[in-house]
Copies of this chain bind each other. A is one copy, B any other.
Amino acid sequence: MYDGIVQDLIDEFGRLPGIGPKSAQRITFHILQTPSFDVARLAELLTDVRARVRFCDVCGNVSEQDRCSICRDPRRNPALICVVEDAKDVSAIERTREFRGLYHVLGGAISPIAGVGPDDLRIAQLMTRLADGTVQEVILATNPNLEGEATASYLSRLLTTMQITVSRLASGLPVGGDLEYADDVTLGRAFEGRRTL
């Protein structure tokens, strides 16, 4: 629809997740029409990120060094490991400021449909980390969906032989939510996991 390179940039933005053709066009025109938008900086960051950012050797989180800032932090409790599917989940949990232990990023969840088995995840690396006996509790924070639950139950079975407490994040009503609008399964879980006051 547009002259060569403009359409190329629209197509390239359209390849990014969550950006449809209309958004891609809007972004491209924003870049074209906003003189103050620093194109060079975005271009440089894109190249730099790919060149410099890697994944932490220990936990699999994103990092610019061999070990990520959380694994390097001596104030974090090494007896507590929170297992998550994705590096994005680390930052979601960090924002809560509830957790002061370490993380382990699996790099996905078990999904027979998508062809992802236990060997495709960083489970062997987790077992290695647990081998020396430092870790006392493993919190399974995989997503509360089919794949996440399957992964959590697989891991909990794997860890029963070890002297480690295995826990799972609570399921229930979202804070600020409305009981009326909760789905059946969530409401059921909220009953199941009810706490005595």
Contacts and interface: CB of A to CB of B under 8 A. Distances in A.
Nearest to A63: B3
B31 A49 contact: yes
A5 interface: yes
Nearest to A70: B3
Nearest to A29: B88
Judged by DSSP, the binding face of A is helix
B27 A16 contact: yes
Number of identical protomers = 2
22 contacts: A1-B91, A2-B62, A3-B62, A3-B64, A3-B68, A5-B45, A5-B48, A5-B49, A5-B53, A6-B62, A9-B49, A12-B42, A12-B45, A16-B27, A17-B30, A18-B23, A19-B23, A29-B87, A32-B62, A40-B47, A43-B44, A46-B46
Interface of A: 1-6, 8-9, 12-13, 15-19, 23, 25-32, 37, 39-50, 52-53, 62-64, 68-69, 86-88, 91, 94-95
